[in-house]
Amino acid sequence: MIKIDHLSKNYGDFTALSDLCLEIPDGELFCFLGPNGAGKTTTLKILTGLLKPSKGTAYLNGYNIQSHSIESRRLIGYIPDMPYLYERLTIMEFCLFIADLYAIPTTIAKKEIHRLLELFSLSNYCSALIKDLSHGMRQRLIYCATLLHSPSIMLIDEPLIGLDPYTIRLIKNLLKDFCKKGNTIFLTTHILALAEDIADRIGIINDGKLLDVGTFDELKKKYQSENLEDIFIKITSESTRK
């Protein structure tokens, strides 16, 4: 579903991403871990088309993200770490606006919007202005909007920021179910316990370079540790010293 082919991103003399190669198949929930500034968000922004790579390319379900940008973007749902919302719209107006962007017929859109708002406990706030929502409610709304057009790939930067325990459980179950249907998730997180809990595979990056990839069990065996935090610190510390 996702093929990353020798991606690099440079800003002058600074290399944010260096020769990244990675394949994520259908149905996989992939967690990308790394310290601040490691290249995680840069990778996601390239996959969404928000950034152009300096070298290399990537493919989403076979579509080259550069030569077939429209086709590839139709496949994805993107949740950034700080999503932008139109604060003068109500929840319902915002969802209908998103549905219109994806050319979803209004009757179908309204039915799906009501289903998603119910799922995320937002049904009673349809007429509320976004500017009046709490941070947690805004996060739930962005999940509603992202799922509205039934993407086959979700790109998520820090999926649990500002969410209460109930919503965290809901999101984790939703992400697992999303992949069970054959869809693909590429997410970044600093919450290592989340990666342990939900990831099919884990990738660790530092200074723009992919250091290792594997299942949690594979990484535990390779680094002789039962703790992902210890594995993460060992891998990233060794890469910094080189």
What tokens does 64 get?
Answer: 């080259």
Other beta carbons within 10 Å of 131: 11
What's the structural domain count of the chain? 1
In three-state secondary structure terms, 180 is helix
Contacts of 35-42 spanning 24+ positions with Cβ under 8 A: 35/206, 35/236, 38/205, 38/206, 38/207, 38/208, 38/236, 39/9, 39/205, 39/207, 39/208, 39/209, 40/157, 40/188, 40/205, 41/81, 41/157, 41/188, 42/9, 42/16, 42/17, 42/208
**Residue environment code for 221-241, b if the CB has 16+ CB neighbours within 10 A, otherwise e:** eebeeeebeebbeebbeebee
Question: How far is Cα 219 from Cα 197, in angstroms, rounded to an integer?
Answer: 14
Q: Over its length of 242 residues, how does the chain's per-residue pLDDT go in tens digits?
A: 999 999 999 999 999 999 999 999 999 999 999 999 999 999 999 999 999 999 999 999 999 999 999 999 999 999 998 888 999 999 999 999 999 999 999 999 999 999 999 999 999 999 999 999 998 899 999 999 999 999 999 999 998 887 889 889 999 999 999 999 999 999 999 999 999 999 999 999 999 999 999 999 999 999 999 899 999 999 998 765 55
Find the CATH number of the domain harbouring 179: 3.40.50.300
Strands 2-11 and 14-24: antiparallel
What count of residues does the chain have? 242
* Phi, psi for residue 189 in degrees, rounded to 5: -160, 150
The pLDDT, as a whole number, for residue 241 is: 52
DSSP assignments along 48-79, one per residue: HTSS--SEEEEEETTEETTTTHHHHHHHEEEE
Segments forming the whole domain that contains residue 100: 2-241
3-state secondary structure of 160: coil
- Give the pLDDT of residue 239: 66
Alpha helix ranges (H) inside the chain: 40-48, 69-75, 91-101, 106-119, 135-147, 165-180, 192-198, 216-223, 228-241
* pTM recorded for the entire structure: 0.92
Q: Which residue shows structure tokens 């260096």? A: 18
- 155 contacts 30 by C-beta, under 8 angstroms: no
> What is the model's pLDDT at position 50?
94
